[in-house]
């Protein structure tokens, strides 16, 4: 008999130290991750996700957040690029004078060096492919798929498949009525017991069984 799924584990697979349940290796309070979201890294220690993959993230300056839902799958080397990587376009120069306050003008606010586009928000059951880059302010809907090496600069609708540089919608995973039903069902918010009971129907696409 299988063990009951345990969202509090670090390593969900026996003797596999390249895959972690991400929320259990995060210490930064401005990175919020849902249960069972997994990260795989065959190049670096996956426990170092917040150091290696969440870049230019200085929440004590911007208070910006990375929010990732439940049951997401994040592939090796996916990067999340935050606001402090930007250079402002509201100036005649892109040079970040405000970060050199002591050199030029101590009255400048450091956050004026970049344009603040907000948090990165990832929905539930999102698959983020290898070597993708997701930029600040982007919101990705539930059930979306982000293709390998995509550069995501704009919001992604639920259950859309996107790819390319910059990323564009390739197609929807399902018809609109199916997407609407899935967004109403929100199976990822069910109890572990109910998900286990309905797992075969989830995997085989038996939507009507999920609606019962």
CB proximity list for 153: less than 8 A, separation 6 or greater: 135, 138, 166, 167
> Once rounded to an integer, what is the mean pLDDT over residues 137-165?
98
Active site residue 139: no
Domain 19-83+118-173 sits in CATH at 2.160.10.10
Query: Which one, of 11, 36, 5, lies nearest residue 193 by Cα?
Result: 5
pLDDT (tens digit per residue) in 103-145: 998 888 888 888 889 999 999 999 999 999 999 999 999 999 9
The pTM score is 0.93
Residue with tokens 């004590």: 60
Query: Which one, of 64, 55, 112, lies nearest residue 88 by Cα?
Result: 112
Active-site hit among 9, 13, 51, 87? 87
Q: 102, 89 in Cβ contact below 8 A?
A: no
Break the chain into its structural domains and give their ranges: 19-83+118-173, 175-212
Residue with tokens 């200085």: 58
């Amino acid at each position: 008999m299988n063990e009951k799924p345990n969202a509090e584990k670090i390593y969900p697979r026996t003797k596999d130290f390249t895959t972690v349940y991400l929320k259990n290796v995060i210490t930064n309070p401005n990175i919020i991750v849902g249960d069972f979201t997994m990260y795989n890294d065959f190049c670096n220690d996956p426990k170092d996700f917040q150091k290696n993959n969440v870049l230019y993230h200085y929440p004590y300056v911007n208070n910006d957040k990375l929010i990732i839902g439940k049951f997401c799958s994040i592939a090796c080397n996916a990067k999340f690029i935050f606001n402090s990587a930007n250079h402002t376009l509201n100036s005649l120069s892109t040079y970040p004078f405000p970060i050199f306050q002591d050199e030029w003008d101590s009255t400048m606010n450091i956050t004026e060096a970049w344009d603040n586009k907000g948090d990165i928000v990832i929905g539930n059951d999102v698959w983020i492919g290898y070597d993708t880059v997701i930029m600040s302010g982007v919101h990705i809907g539930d059930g979306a798929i982000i293709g390998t090496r995509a550069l995501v600069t704009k919001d992604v609708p639920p259950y859309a498949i996107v790819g390319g540089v910059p990323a564009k919608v390739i197609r929807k995973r399902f018809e609109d009525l199916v997407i609407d039903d899935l967004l109403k069902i929100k199976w990822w918010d069910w109890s572990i017991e109910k998900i286990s009971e309905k797992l075969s129907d989830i995997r085989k696409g038996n939507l009507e069984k999920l609606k019962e």
